[in-house]
Amino acid sequence: MADGRKQEFAVVGKSVPRVDGPPKVTGTPIYTVDMERPGMLHAAILRSTVPHGRIRRVDKSRAEQAEGVVLVVTGEDLKTMPGIDPYFGPAFRDQAILAIDKVRYIGDPIAAVVATRRELAYEALDLIDVEYEELPPVLDPVEAARPGSPLVHEQLRPAKAFADLAEIEPGKATNVCYHFKLRRGDVEQGFAQSAHVFEDWYYSPPAQHMMMEPHAALAWVDSDGVLTVITGSQSPSYVKGSLGAIFGLPQNKVRVMVPLVGGAYGGKLYDKLEPLASLLTFMARRPVKIQLTREEVFITITKHGVVSHVRTGVSQDGKILARKVEVYWDTGAYADIAPRVVHKSGYTSAGAYRVPNIWIDSYCVYTNKPPAGAFRGFGVPQVVWALESQMDMIAEKLGRDPLQFRLENVLLEGDLFATGTPVHSAGLKESLEAVAREIKWEPGVRKAVKPGTKSGVARAKGVACGIKAVITPSISGAIVVMNNDASVNVLTSTVEMGQGSDTALSQIAAEELGVRLQDVRVMHPDTAVTPYDTITAGSRSTYHMGNAIRLAAQEVKRQLFETASDRLEVDPDQLVARDGRIFVAEAPTRGLPIPEVFQARFGARGATLQGQAVFKTYAAPMDHETGQSEKVTEYWFPGATAAEVEVDLETGKVRVVKLVEACDVGRAINPHHCEQQIIGSALISLGQTLFEQMILENGELLNPTLLDYKVLTLKDVPESAVPIVIEVPHKDGPFGAKGVGETGTLSVSAAIGNAVYRATGVRVKELPITPEKVLRGLRAGQ
Amino acid sequence: MGFDLLEPRTVAEAVELHARDGNAVFLAGGTALLILQRQGLPLPRRLISLRGIPGLDEITAGPGGGLRIGALATLRQVERHPLVVRRVPLLAEALRQVANVRVRHTATLGGNLAHGDYRLDPPAPLLVLGAQVRAVGIGGEREIALAAFFRGLFETALQPGEVVTELAIPPTPPSGGTYLKYALSSNDWPCVGAAALVALDDHGRCREVRLALTAVAAAPVLVRGLDELARGEPVSDRLAARLADIAAAQVEPVGDQRGSEWYKREMARVFARRALLAAARRAEAGPVGDGTKEPVA
């Protein structure tokens, strides 16, 4: 389809190599962990050893005397510091820089030691004595949601930091910090009319982001009193605002800079180490750096463990009539961004299908465990695991082919979503059909592939799909600066964390300005210079920042055309910019190279032209009781997975032979990079499907190292892993683009779970799908 | 976190240093020590490094086809050494499956055994090869059969202050061997590891069957009593299954995150059988070991 149209573009739609590729493979970029300042000190954090307790006493006197120690600070000290509000958090200001009065999980920061060397800071931690009065720990999210449970937080303060979270108000005396509700149609009547009703519990365990670069921040106060923080953060604009609020500083006295980031996946959003690093540099009057160990990263932020109950009613002819979903999000000790996770994945909890009667309750529940927040896919993979496992169970009961059953029910252009929002640019059907084609789907109710061809091994294929919505409303600002040699600086607060934004945004700027890709340089966030951006997360940068850059570049182009039209004596609207020239569209030889336009306009060496733009999306207000909204999101991310697995019937071990992932990206700005994002996110999910999980006992993490927490390695990658780019252009996307960073995470677990069932008859409802669970199922079925 | 690193030049000096400070710890490759430290166990203030002692990593031919492997030889050195590849390919095959190549370049064979961790791969092939550990302490030198070396969880026959200096592998009868590592993901400790060595007579009947299992008890298990059943019997699925039942009865798994007690016992049975059959197939195809044709070095 797009072949003809793609010819129009010079840079967009082409698989150009990454602009940050050569420096990265030659090891030249400087990340936050590499940064140093003259006179820099190092900090280490003392953490709670009990899941829930009152702090009776912290004795830091011995640590203060230790070698190299400059200062030791505790939560008690924070209480009496003038001008500091020690609480932070994007949804609730529920987390103190250092625990005040109470600790809420094993790992909760209690005190910080600043020393001349990092090892000395860590060594001095052992010299701090803490006395606790232990409280009963709150561990199970379903229990914790019940009235009468011990409370993790006695009071809560909404943060009001984001428009989409403005409605959040905590209930009184409860661990449920947010309750999302959606009501559509009459769900009980729907069940009454159903020929079959299915009801199942599913579980998805907490997991790790496992970014290569651990959390790190380096803070100092410069000579004119500006608090300056270098941090590997996905949300520099937010951090600037948050530090201003904590320390009572005007926003131009806070400067947050983000260099290249060594991976994030949602684990480096909002406040992490920045408030503590800032506090310590104010106290020490010297630069202070904090860098977490891997063991500390494990307990700093996690992917939510989720318990879901799904009840679905269907007619005999395979229409979904009613769906009631109850989801418990184990958000740990601090809410972080969890209410937004629960909201966003809450309203997609009825799935990617036409369902007339829907009832959703999604509970965000505090427990005494490490905090959970954003993770690539933002909660949707946990919900899709439940929904799409059950879809296959329904199809089997109805005697239907699971692919066909999905295709008949899946949302199409213009259909109403659970929220009442019409669906646009949602290539669900296209994605399902694409993966089915690639895996050579053989229709059938339950079909093991070539059973018995290899003894003791069963083989089968499975399929699943999912849909996610982009965070709405949100804001991206961009400044485009063109130099008089036609080279360009793009100023944005988008963070390059490995996802390829420097390349995609360069392509968009180059296309709009008619210059070469190598003429564009995307600058990294520096809040003293780069404009506001909500976050680099949620697959939003290509669309939002892409649009902002396009608009800003158009402003630069307008000025170029203004000058060129004088010189060429044509109307500006007859001009085009391409190949570094401004020329008359109808007469391409009549034109000027961009440097000559600058010469004509300024006659000065080093002159620049600027354009700036803010791109903002809107959502129609959502009804609190029913979750209905005419426009709940700016755009949708649909994706589908097909997997072929081989199960060893003696061990229960699952080997994924082939994994196919298709995602609708709107328009691929860079097709090859889209493929890499699709397969990368599918593989992150594959690891979480087969073996990744944080194992907690009484609030204590039992596997806080890479020895015992196993992530996918290259050797675990299927022989065949195929990404498919689906393009259903979005009317308002830059060149039709949407986003692609998370879509591949949505349905991998369910597709594999479904394939394992089709191969063995064993339905695993609790991730990960370990060999032991499969073997127990096989034995139970004998 | 600070510590003193002592670097003796001879084994005698190393042992002497330990006699002076009983809390000091011998350091070989350091991969296990580093893990313990990262898990929060305090490092000893004094480490006696064995790495500077000349000759402790040599691999040489032993009498009549056996091998001598210096305790400080890295797993990678052993895995790639031509003598090992030729005479005990089973050992090379097992070492190839340990951790990853970076760890194998650092970890030493002697350190691996002295660590006494129940989940390690190398003990299984070395047990079926009948390896002998040479240890030196303040009282002198002694040899310990590997079968008597592992005593329990992180517990070996080594006395405090004794250091492993060498591993002797006696000549093996013409046989087929294999090591099967069963792990839940590709870069992990085993859920179960099974090493088997099968020697056949001229009629294809079992002459000798050896089997060792790792990660299924507090210490690696050399399975006893297989020859009584197997000797003189032709190799068959049924025989292998009966031998595997014997093996499963001798393991005492401790449930860990790689499998519950039940699962590990089941897997011990499965991989004992598979390893025995694979070793027997190799023995049929072309045995290696003492008396078989060996390329001239």
pLDDT at B129 over 60: yes
Torsion of CA A399, A402, A405, A411, to 10 degrees: 160
Interface of B with A in 238-267 (CB under 8 A): 257, 259-260, 263, 266-267
Bridging pattern class, strands A227-231 and A302-303: unpaired
User: For chain A, what is the radius of gyration of the CA atoms?
Assistant: 27
Closest residue in chain B to residue A121, using alpha carbons only: B1
Q: How far apart are CA A456 and CA A374, in angstroms?
A: 41
Task: Give the residue from A407, A401, A336 showing the smallest Cα distance to A374.
Answer: A336
Q: Is the Cβ of B187 closer than 8 Å to some Cβ of chain A?
A: yes
Q: Is the Cβ of B186 closer than 8 Å to some Cβ of chain A?
A: yes
Q: How far apart are CA A236 and CA A530, in angstroms?
A: 10
Task: Give the residue from B202, B254, B192, B200 showing the smallest Cα distance to B223.
Answer: B192
Give the nearest partner residue to B184 out of A119, A710, A715, using CB atoms: A710
Q: Is the Cβ of B38 closer than 8 Å to some Cβ of chain A?
A: yes
CATH says A302-471+622-781 is which class? alpha beta
pLDDT of residue B161: 94
List chain A residues with CB under 8 Å of B266. 775
**Mean pLDDT of all residues in A170-176:** 81
A713 with B185: Cβ contact below 8 A: yes
| A715 CA: distance to closest CA in chain B (Å) | 6
Candidates A122, A650, A714, partner chain B, best to mutate (most B CBs within 10 A): A650
Q: Model confidence at A454, in pLDDT bands (50, 70, 90)?
A: low
Closest residue in chain B to residue A119, using alpha carbons only: B1
Average pLDDT of every residue of chain A: 95
Question: Could you give the percent of chain A with pLDDT greater than 90?
Answer: 93
Q: At what angle do helices A748-760 and A771-781 cross, to 10 degrees?
A: 30
Give the nearest partner residue to A651 out of B1, B38, B270, using CB atoms: B270
pLDDT of residue B293: 46
pLDDT at B202 over 80: yes
Give the nearest partner residue to B263 out of A295, A702, A775, using CB atoms: A775
Contact, A40 vs A287, CB < 8 A?
Answer: yes
CA atoms within 13 A on the CB side of A719: 5
pLDDT of residue B13: 97
Q: How far apart are CA A451 and CA A456, in angstroms?
A: 9
pLDDT at A171 over 70: no
Q: How far apart are CA A382 and CA A380, in angstroms?
A: 5
pLDDT of residue B109: 98
The number of residues in chain A equals: 782
Q: How many beta-carbon pairs below 8 A join chains A and B? A: 49
List chain A residues with CB under 8 Å of B189. 707
Task: Give the pair of three-digit tokens for residue B38.
Answer: 């990262």
Convert the pLDDT of each residue in A349-367 to its tens digit.
Answer: 999 999 999 999 999 999 9
B257 with A715: Cβ contact below 8 A: no
Contact, A447 vs A139, CB < 8 A?
Answer: no
Q: For chain B, count helices (H), then strands (E).
A: 11, 14
Q: Is the Cβ of B3 closer than 8 Å to some Cβ of chain A?
A: no
**Mean pLDDT of all residues in A676-700:** 97
Q: Which amino acid is it at A228? A: T
Give the nearest partner residue to A295 out of B38, B189, B191, using CB atoms: B38
**Mean pLDDT of all residues in B180-201:** 96
Give the domain ranges of chain A.
3-30+474-616, 32-137+210-298, 302-471+622-781
Domains A3-30+474-616 and A302-471+622-781 share a fold: yes
| A315 CA: distance to closest CA in chain B (Å) | 41
Which residues, 6 or more positions from A688, have their beta carbon under 8 angstroms from its beta carbon? Answer: A207, A303, A381, A749, A767, A768
Q: At what angle do helices A748-760 and A671-690 cross, to 10 degrees?
A: 50
pLDDT at A442 over 80: yes
In three-state secondary structure terms, A705 is coil
Q: Is the Cβ of A200 closer than 8 Å to some Cβ of chain B?
A: no
Candidates B117, B267, B269, B273, partner chain A, best to mutate (most A CBs within 10 A): B267
**Does A3-30+474-616 carry CATH code 3.40.50.300?**
no
Convert the pLDDT of each residue in A178-218 to its tens digit.
Answer: 999 999 999 999 999 999 999 999 999 999 999 999 999 99
List chain A residues with CB under 8 Å of B267. 651
**Mean pLDDT of all residues in B258-267:** 97
List chain A residues with CB under 8 Å of B1. 119, 122-123
List chain B residues with CB under 8 Å of A691. 184-185
Closest residue in chain A to residue B32, using alpha carbons only: A707
Contact, B68 vs B44, CB < 8 A?
Answer: no
Task: Give the residue from B195, B201, B146, B199 showing the smallest Cα distance to B168.
Answer: B146
Pick the CATH number of A32-137+210-298 from 3.90.950.10, 3.90.1170.50, 3.40.50.620, 3.30.365.10: 3.90.1170.50
Phi-psi region of B140 (alpha: psi -120 to 50; beta: other; left: phi over 0): left
Q: Is the Cβ of A695 closer than 8 Å to some Cβ of chain B?
A: yes
Candidates B35, B119, B182, B186, partner chain A, best to mutate (most A CBs within 10 A): B186
| B264 CA: distance to closest CA in chain A (Å) | 9
List chain A residues with CB under 8 Å of B257. 695, 702-703, 708
Q: Is the Cβ of A708 closer than 8 Å to some Cβ of chain B?
A: yes
B257 with A713: Cβ contact below 8 A: no
Q: How far apart are CA B178 and CA B275, in angstroms?
A: 6
Task: Give the pair of three-digit tokens for residue A667.
Answer: 């328009």
Q: At what angle do helices A541-568 and A501-513 cross, to 10 degrees?
A: 20
B186 with A716: Cβ contact below 8 A: yes
Convert the pLDDT of each residue in A616-636 to its tens digit.
Answer: 999 999 999 999 999 999 999
Q: How far apart are CA A645 and CA A459, in angstroms?
A: 6
Task: Give the residue from B208, B222, B218, B231 showing the smallest Cα distance to B272.
Answer: B222
List chain B residues with CB under 8 Å of A651. 182, 267, 270
**Mean pLDDT of all residues in A661-674:** 97
Task: Give the pair of three-digit tokens for residue B124.
Answer: 């299984």
Contact, A501 vs A523, CB < 8 A?
Answer: no
| B101 CA: distance to closest CA in chain A (Å) | 13
CA atoms within 13 A on the CB side of A543: 34
In chain B, % helix, strand, coil (3-state, to 5) comes to 35, 25, 40
**Mean pLDDT of all residues in A312-331:** 98
Convert the pLDDT of each residue in A691-739 to its tens digit.
Answer: 999 999 999 999 999 999 999 999 999 999 999 999 999 999 999 999 9
- A509-528 per-residue burial string, b: 16 or more CB within 10 A, e: under 16: bbbbbbbbbebbebbbbbbe
- A147-178 per-residue burial string, b: 16 or more CB within 10 A, e: under 16: eebeebbeebebbebbebbeebebeeebbbbb
pLDDT at A172 over 80: no
A708 with B257: Cβ contact below 8 A: yes
A695 with B260: Cβ contact below 8 A: no
In three-state secondary structure terms, A724 is strand
pLDDT of residue B295: 41
| A314 CA: distance to closest CA in chain B (Å) | 38
DSSP letters, B23-70, are T-EEESS-HHHHHHHHTTPPPPSEEEE-TTSTTTT-EEE-GGG-EEEE
Task: Give the residue from A78, A153, A584 showing the smallest Cα distance to A367.
Answer: A153
pLDDT at B84 over 70: yes
pLDDT of residue A170: 67
Q: Is the Cβ of B203 closer than 8 Å to some Cβ of chain A?
A: no
Q: How far apart are CA A109 and CA A104, in angstroms?
A: 10
Task: Give the pair of three-digit tokens for residue A624.
Answer: 């609190």
Average pLDDT of every residue of chain B: 93
pLDDT of residue A3: 41
| A247 CA: distance to closest CA in chain B (Å) | 34
Q: Which amino acid is it at A70? A: V
Burial class for A33, CB neighbours closer than 10 Å (0-12, 13-18, 19+): middle
Q: Model confidence at A1, in pLDDT bands (50, 70, 90)?
A: very low
Q: Which domains does chain B have, with CATH numbers?
A: 4-49 (3.30.43.10), 59-169 (3.30.465.10), 176-285 (3.30.390.50)
Bridging pattern class, strands A102-103 and A95-96: unpaired
